[in-house]
Amino acid sequence: MTLLRVILFVMTAASSPTTIVTRTSFGTLTNGAKVDLYTLKSSEVEARIATYGARIVGIDASDRDGNVADIVLGHNSVEEYLQGKDPYLGVVAGRFANRIGKGQFTLDGKLYQTTLNDGPNMLHGGTDGFSSRNWQAHEVPNGVELTLISPDGDQGFPGTLTAHVRYTLSGNRLRIEYTATTDKLTVVSLTNHAYFNLSGEGNPSILDHVLTLEADRYTPIDATLIPTGEIAAITATPFDFTQPTRVGERIGEDNEQLHRAAGYDHNWVVRGNAGTLRLAAEIFDPTSGRVLQVLTTEPGIQFYSGNFLDGARTGKSGAPYIKRSGFCLETQHFPDSPNHPNFPSTELQSGDTYRSTTDFIFTTRK
């Protein structure tokens, strides 16, 4: 081989993607639409993304002994997701993630009413939110980008919103990049709603996982899980995760906030400057040694301890998803932000671009 060919070979190898991306069929929706599954595989992690709901279907990661397991709750086909009420397994939630009180907000003096799907409130975009849409997708270097156009008035929200979600995998880091534009003043907040169990999906409990949150404050909720508007200190409360703490250590305490949510389902205020990528959470499973770190540019993170999983769904391994068999760490703007001027704004103007980045990093610990 000539010197020139050697140089070209080395340059080609160095520029080759470190992640292999493949596309396969994931089933068919009731309207006949085909759903694709994109598999992102690096030397350390495999992530599977479906176009239906732009959702994370599975993530394979090694434990401390090198044993690989799927650590995300989900199903093996889109048809299984369509059976019964979906608890937002792995979805991109939008156009507004989390809750809006009474589904109402005011922009430029005009009151908007969104669809209600959580008692008196709107949850994760309403009755037909982004999680129930089949997104358009195309392969990008090391990943996949999904696109959805939400028309003016969709679920009651103003403006035609064009949203893009890009998943890329590099080694042990899965990055999610969200962007959105609008043709009219609107509100937007997007997140991913993956349920994790670092012992492996189908394991019955996450209560022994050890959680650390980079947050000194949180937003208390009322009886319908809507923030009161207070930004409260976590000192001397069951919401203090500034030091590594078992999820189940204080979840059963006689605390009004815990009673209201049947456990943890609250928004914490992430330290540091919103808009900069920084560590928000770390959770460790002593059984497997797996560690998940969550970095975000968002001002908040919702820790949900799977309180409303009820065993009605059977997952990929054949085990039912029972109460507290999975947890979510949802990077976000604060819930009900449009109704609280003291919360970071979720308004998006025509001509501006909404941007948000979240990283999931998977490691192990002895």
CB atoms within 10 A of CB 57: 27
**DSSP codes of every residue in 225-294:** S-B-S--EE-TTSTT--SS-EETTSSTTSS-HHHHHHTS-EEEEEESS-TTS-EEEEEEE-TTT-EEEEE
Please name the residues in contact with 106: beta carbons below 8 A apart, sequence gap of 6 or more: 112, 338
Q: In whole angstroms, what is the distance from residue 132 CA to residue 98 CA?
A: 15
Nearest Cα to Cα of residue 283 among 294, 295, 272, 269: 294
Q: In whole angstroms, what is the distance from residue 196 CA to residue 304 CA?
A: 10
Show which residues are catalytic. Answer: 193, 330
Q: In whole angstroms, what is the distance from residue 337 CA to residue 189 CA?
A: 9
**DSSP codes of every residue in 53-65:** TTEEEEEEEE-TT
Please name the residues in contact with 5: beta carbons below 8 A apart, sequence gap of 6 or more: none
270, 296 contact by CB (below 8 A): yes
User: Rounded to a whole number, what is the distance in angstroms from the first to the last CA of the chain?
Assistant: 46
- CA distances for 97 relative to 188, 192, 219, 274, 331, angstroms: 8, 9, 16, 17, 10
- Helices and strands, counts by H and E, the chain: 3, 27
